[in-house]
A = this chain, B = another copy of it.
Amino acid sequence: MLVDYRAPTVRAPVSKTHVAPAPAENSLLAALPRKDFELLEAFLEPVKLTFGEVIYGPGEPIQHVYFPTDSLVSLLTLAEGHQALEVGLVGREGMLGIPLALGVSDSPVRALIQGTGMALRMTAAHFSNELQLNALLQREVYRYTYELMVQMTQTAACNRFHRVEARLARWLLMTRDRVRSNQIHLTQELLANMLGVRRVGVTKAACDLRQRNLISYNRGQIQILDPQGLEQAACQCYQIVKDMHEVARA
């Protein structure tokens, strides 16, 4: 698969030679001082998360927390006689298993691997323990909890008010930011489940975005052609959450 490592917003041109592939880091862990990270490292185990895998089921106990490095996970809720609905999207900027940090052992949502890739994981017991001991880890985890709440809030409003096409554009952009690639592997069927609409609704929205030369796609492979144009097509919700993220990290 062709992978485009361009950063979401290009700042400085990077030499094409001697560039080690961007280290597959997790931002949350990366924000810790080296010393603190080394303390945790003993408990962290790299695992491959594969598309389609479900790491948490709603109401089920959380066995491990995960810090995605280049994988992508979506948080889904279910509702009375309807398909799933995505309430959060987690990539390298975050983690999975927040309830543990809040003293709860079960996940309220389903966590579905959306993009195959690696993550660092830790057992629930080790995490709870380390969190007690490590104030800086606490700081990062709680800050991300806040970010997740904001993302959920904005997503709720977005799902209520905005049209499928705008929401699709937003989803693609959010995914792009997290996997750092313009290539996204996902069928319209799955996409429909994220957005809480019919597959046909996605087809129509995608057709339209394609006609405008913003994206191209083929049987589960979606390519973002014009990120800026796509931002125009998306609702402001995209920018709002993104700005929040940057402010919160400042």
Contact = CB atoms under 8 A, between A and B. Distances in A.
Is chain A's binding surface mostly helix, strand, loop or mixed? Answer: helix
A35 B196 CA distance: 48
A215 interface: no
Nearest to A85: B157
A248 interface: yes
Interface in A70-102: 77-80, 82, 85, 87, 98-99, 101-102
A156 B196 CA distance: 11
B79 A158 contact: yes
Contacts of A78: 157
Interface residues of A, number: 40
Number of copies: 2
A218 to B, nearest CB: 29
A87 B156 contact: yes
B248 A153 contact: no
Nearest to A88: B153
A161 B82 contact: yes
Nearest to A166: B80
A205 interface: no
Contact of A85 (B80, B101, B103, B161): B161
A103 B101 CA distance: 14
Contact of A79 (B142, B145, B161): B161
Contacts of A145: 102, 145
Given A152-B149, A157-B85, A159-B160, A248 B77 contact: no
Contacts of A149: 98, 102, 108, 148-149, 152
Contacts of A103: 139, 142-143, 146
A102 B237 contact: no
A148 B156 CA distance: 14
A109 B146 contact: no
Contacts of A143: 102-104
A167 to B, nearest CB: 11
Interface string A229-250: 0000001110000001000100
Given A87-B153, A87-B157, 5 more contacts: A77-B154, A79-B157, A80-B237, A103-B139, A152-B153
9 contacts: A85-B156, A87-B157, A102-B143, A102-B149, A104-B143, A156-B156, A156-B159, A159-B159, A160-B160
